[in-house]
């Protein structure tokens, strides 16, 4: 499929108006990078906790604080119901740590096994929760769609506090309190909080209330420093791939600072050790590509309790043992995913990719693993540049799908439209603009395939199905330096909707070879006879590379600092290359 490299343009009015405000103290290329990401003034670059949005702007926050403070005052049993991904794990760990630090004597957590209970606070998981005899249920990273589950909990005399960030449906559950920046009527400025960000804000509000009413003095408890849990907030936020708006950038930056200073929890330290990442050099992408997947592997293949236990452990040896278990699960997950992806691509070869491939693609194979279909959907989406839903069999009657979308299609809204046009076709669904999940009857798969493709075609044209790489322009030879690369590294945190700078240009190929079976190691030069620059392109097509005919290439790349045996040098991380 075609890849197009496009140059970014400033999305703010600064560049157009040639304003002298903005970022005049910054190097011109950094000004350009920030302007192309929609920033309008230097205040938006603040990474100080003082500039976080106030918890008072969250709808329902006082009801939530009332539930929690009453539970603490009456020494009630609190049970946290988490999700089985990294966001859910960090949310659960943060809630456990914060409530315990604030004096909760009876607090525990429960994460539904995705293969037995599915997602969220279902009536079935409420029955399991019943054995814990909770007075208060707190959902983290789920619950906004749990109409029946909340009703079941209330019928058993439990109070329910929902903390979530997923999009709300037409009906809200009858909970005692709901905290979700995306619920109707909530004026919280950032709609992009991850689940861990939401529960962090709830704990901020609870601490403020308890401090105001003299709780900590009365109980002889030190007032907890909420900053000590920002490592968990950073990990969950990056791993859940939510947009890094200004508020999330503050949370992630502050969490990264704690990790770099080795003030993070023992479990994160263990995961970094297993992933061979140096804490002092950590960037946001390390959380997304090295730590998050190992944590997610537990929920994908087995039970997220091992992941939460790792994050809750204060014993270095025990945490390392749990991190090793997570690493083993992640290796198994990668093997399963690789096989599934190969099967999917082989099945697609039966189609003419240029003529018959649906615009909205649905894939299903009976032996696919439920926990890995989301990653497979993401990989195929990246390869074919169109919305993809990968399905796995739950039982003889039900399929569960995981959807990933592309720019121009809000995937949850698309599923909602399908459900509206075809009543009864989808059993349940939920999610975000770019990712969603759904269930449907196994014998309705073909019907859904057709309905989904029709809906996607209403929104996307053939031109929308081209892969795009957005470039911040070309670099001069003088920019390819360690100081410049370090400046870019420190100018983040970079992530979803605030992408790390990518550049493009033409280069002479000095040498090329395969390393690690499928990675292309290159030595490039900007000018013929110029200084050599190390470069690497991961997961290349071995049928095309190395290519002795490639004397010159056009490449899109990111600047990286490669460290090996104490030596540090600039390296290009190539995202796309073409022979010139």
What does the pLDDT read at residue 2?
65
pLDDT of amino acid 356: 73
Which tops the pLDDT comparison, 1 or 362?
362
pLDDT above 60 for 176: yes
pLDDT for res 18:
46
Which of 16-20, 200-204, 302-306, 562-566 has the weakest average pLDDT?
Answer: 16-20
**CA–CA separation, 578 vs 580, rounded Å?**
6
**What is the pLDDT, as a whole number, of residue 285?**
94
Cβ neighbours of residue 503 closer than 8 Å, sequence gap 6 or more: 471, 472, 473, 474, 475, 556, 557, 558, 559
DSSP per-residue letters across 332-385:
HHHHHHHHHHHHHHHHHHTS-TTTT--SSEEEE-TT--GGGHHHHHHHHHHHHT
Closest CA to 167 of 539, 355, 432: 432
Asked if the model's pLDDT at residue 105 lies above 60, the reply is yes
Predicted local confidence at residue 341, as pLDDT: 86
Of the listed ranges 128-137, 251-260, 555-564, the least confidently predicted one is 555-564
Dist. CA 452–CA 447, nearest whole Å: 9
Q: In angstroms, rounded to a whole number, what is the distance separating the alpha carbons of residues 429 and 318? A: 38
The pLDDT of 515-525, averaged and rounded, is 91
One CATH from 3.40.1390.10, 3.30.70.260, 3.40.640.10, 3.10.310.30 for 351-465: 3.10.310.30
Tell me, what's the pLDDT at 136? 98
pLDDT at 115: 67
Residue 14 has pLDDT above 90, yes or no: no
Mean pLDDT for the stretch of residues 202-209: 98
Q: Is the pLDDT of residue 129 over 60?
A: yes
Q: What residues does each domain of the chain span?
A: 51-325, 351-465, 469-579
pLDDT at residue 533 greater than cutoff 50 = yes
Q: Report whether pLDDT(553) > 80.
A: yes
pLDDT class of 55 with cuts at 50, 70, 90: very high
Residue 443 has pLDDT above 70, yes or no: yes
Indicate the Cα dihedral angle 571, 574, 578, 580, nearest 10°.
Answer: -20
User: What's the mean pLDDT in 445-473?
Assistant: 92
- pLDDT at residue 75, rounded to an integer: 96
Question: What is the overall mean pLDDT for the chain?
Answer: 91
Most confident of the ranges 24-28, 57-61, 118-122, 277-281: 57-61
Q: What is the pLDDT of residue 267?
A: 97
Across the range 368-396, mean pLDDT stands at: 91
Contacts of 137 (CB under 8 A, 6+ apart): 79, 81, 121, 126, 129, 153, 158, 159, 160, 161
What mean pLDDT is predicted for residues 389-398?
93
pLDDT tops 80 at residue 36: yes
pLDDT at 112: 79
User: What is the percent of the chain with per-residue pLDDT over 70, rounded to a whole number?
Assistant: 96
Q: How confident is the model at residue 407 (pLDDT cuts 50, 70, 90)?
A: confident
At 43 the pLDDT is: 82
Q: How far is CA 500 from CA 408, 429, 575, in A?
A: 21, 32, 12
Average pLDDT over residues 336-361: 78
Average pLDDT over residues 422-429: 93
Question: How high is the pLDDT of residue 91?
Answer: 97
- For the ranges 20-29, 182-191, 407-416, 460-469, which has the lowest average pLDDT? 20-29
3-state secondary structure 355-366: CCCCCCEEEECC
Q: In this structure, which topology does domain 469-579 adopt according to CATH?
A: OB fold (Dihydrolipoamide Acetyltransferase, E2P) (2.40.50)
Q: Is the pLDDT of residue 222 over 90?
A: yes
Fold of domain 51-325: inorganic pyrophosphatase (n-terminal core) (3.90.1640)
């Amino acid at each position: 499929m075609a890849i197009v490299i496009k140059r970014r343009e400033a999305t703010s009015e600064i560049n157009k108006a040639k304003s002298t405000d903005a970022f005049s103290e910054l190097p011109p290329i950094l000004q350009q990078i920030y302007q192309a990401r929609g920033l309008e003034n230097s205040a938006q670059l603040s990474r100080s906790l003082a500039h976080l949005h106030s918890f008072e702007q969250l709808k329902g926050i006082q009801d939530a604080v009332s539930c929690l403070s009453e539970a603490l005052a009456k020494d009630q049993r609190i049970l946290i119901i988490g999700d089985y991904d990294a966001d859910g794990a960090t949310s659960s760990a943060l809630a456990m740590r914060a409530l315990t630090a604030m004096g909760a004597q009876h607090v525990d957590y429960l994460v539904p096994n995705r293969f037995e209970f599915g997602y969220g606070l279902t009536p079935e998981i409420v029955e399991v929760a019943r054995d814990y005899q909770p007075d208060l249920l707190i959902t983290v990273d789920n619950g906004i769609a749990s109409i029946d589950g909340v009703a079941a909990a209330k019928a058993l005399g439990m109070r329910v506090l929902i903390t979530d960030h997923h999009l709300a449906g037409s009906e809200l559950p009858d909970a005692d309190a709901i905290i979700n920046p995306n619920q109707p009527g909530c004026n919280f400025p950032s709609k992009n909080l991850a689940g861990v960000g939401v529960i962090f804000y709830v704990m901020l509000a609870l601490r403020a209330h308890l401090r105001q009413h003299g709780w900590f003095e009365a109980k002889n408890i030190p007032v907890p420093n909420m900053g000590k849990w920002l490592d968990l907030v950073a990990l969950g936020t990056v791993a859940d791939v939510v947009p890094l708006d200004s508020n999330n950038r503050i949370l992630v930056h502050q969490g990264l600072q704690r990790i770099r200073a080795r003030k993070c929890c023992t479990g994160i330290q263990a995961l970094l050790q297993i992933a061979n990442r140096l804490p002092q050099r950590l960037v946001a992408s390390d959380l997304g590509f090295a730590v998050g997947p190992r944590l997610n592997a537990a929920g994908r293949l087995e039970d997220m309790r091992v992941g939460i236990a790792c994050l809750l452990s204060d014993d270095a040896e025990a945490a390392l043992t749990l991190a090793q278990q997570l690493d083993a699960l992640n290796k198994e997950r990668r093997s399963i995913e690789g096989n599934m992806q190969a099967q999917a691509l082989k099945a697609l070869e039966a189609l003419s990719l240029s003529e018959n491939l649906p615009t909205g693609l649905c894939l299903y194979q009976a032996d696919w693993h439920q926990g890995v279909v989301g990653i497979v959907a993401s990989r195929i989406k990246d390869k074919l540049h169109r919305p993809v839903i990968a399905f796995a069999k739950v039982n003889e009657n039900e399929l569960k799908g995981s959807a990933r979308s592309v720019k121009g299609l809000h995937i949850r809204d698309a599923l909602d439209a399908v459900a509206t046009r075809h009543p009864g076709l989808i059993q349940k669904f939920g999610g975000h603009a770019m990712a969603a999940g759904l269930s449907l009857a196994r014998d309705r798969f073909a019907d859904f395939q057709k309905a989904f493709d029709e809906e996607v075609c209403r929104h996307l044209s053939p031109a929308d199905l081209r892969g795009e790489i957005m470039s911040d322009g070309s670099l001069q030879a003088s920019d390819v330096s360690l100081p410049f690369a370090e400046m870019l590294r420190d100018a983040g945190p970079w992530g979803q909707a605030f992408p790390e700078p990518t550049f493009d240009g033409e280069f002479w190929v000095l040498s090329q070879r395969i390393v690690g079976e499928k990675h292309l190691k290159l030595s490039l030069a900007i000018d013929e006879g110029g200084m050599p620059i190390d470069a690497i392109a991961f997961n290349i097509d071995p049928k095309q590379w190395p290519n002795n005919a490639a004397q010159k290439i056009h490449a899109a790349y990111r600047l990286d600092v490669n460290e090996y045996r104490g030596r540090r040098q600039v390296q290009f991380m190539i995202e796309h290359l073409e022979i010139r």
